[in-house]
Amino acid sequence: MKAMILAAGVGSRLDPLTRNVPKPMVPVVNKPVMEHIVEALARNGIKDIMVNLHYLGDQIQDYFGNGKKWGVKIQYSREDQLWGDAGSVKRCQQFFDEDTFLVVGGDDLADMDFKRLVRFHEDKKALATISLSLVDDPSEYGIALLNDRGRITRFLEKPKGEVIFSNSANTGVYVFHRDVLDLIPKGTPYGFGHNLFPMLLEQRARFFGYLTSSYWKDVGSLKQYQEAHYDALNGRCDFNIPVPETRKYV
């Protein structure tokens, strides 16, 4: 199975950390965010990875190379401009030569069972499946409403005020059937949350949500970045911390 890591964004909300470092290379417990993602994919047997690059992309490619160090194969799609998350995936259409593929945001820490997510997607014969997580403040995320079969009946990108109808937040982890690529226009910026997902609802496509209790954190702001460190050090997520733990007794 193949996956794509979205790694082209500028990460302005993480300023000043991202002035000289691309967002996927910002360290969490002394390891780039994207390295945690690559390790999670490898643990789940997903070892053929495409990464899109734009802002300071050379740093990402220089660090990860062909992926051999992590037991994966990494290819890169360089972008002359930002094409949106869906538009970036569309540009890599030839890479996705299997029926099912995974997409993960390059600034997401997701300690989840990707295999289980894919099984859910395939059992539902879905065209698209979003992994969802319950959050206290859904205003910064896309939110979804599900029926009792897990089918998405309503979706809204970054709601504000009285329009908030759910606290099930889009984690930015998606499973797609490759037929979805035919619905994304070529050569134009296009987004999943603003464009594709509303269209899937309009067309009554097989569009599902998978509610997970696994750890997930969008490391998209300085506050969330700080929280991710606390979570890792407190053992809330199963990340490979690259230094030994030392206890000092007084």
| 57-64 helix and 33-43 helix, angle to the nearest 10 degrees | 40
* Token pair belonging to 155: 């979706």
Catalytic residue selected from 125, 158, 186, 217: 158
CA distance linking residue 235 with residue 135, whole number of Å: 19
Report the candidate in 3, 104, 89, 88 with the shortest Cα–Cα distance to residue 54.
88
Cβ neighbourhood burial of 112 (10 Å; 0-12, 13-18, 19+): buried
Could you tell me if 34 and 106 are in contact, meaning their C-beta atoms sit under 8 angstroms apart?
yes
CA distance linking residue 88 with residue 49, whole number of Å: 14
Could you tell me if 87 and 181 are in contact, meaning their C-beta atoms sit under 8 angstroms apart?
no
For residue 54, how many other CB atoms are within 10 A of its CB?
19
Report residue 26 CA to chain centroid gap: 15
Residue found under tokens 């539902």: 124
Q: Is 158 among the residues known to form the active site?
A: yes
CA distance linking residue 238 with residue 148, whole number of Å: 31
Residue numbers annotated as active site = 158
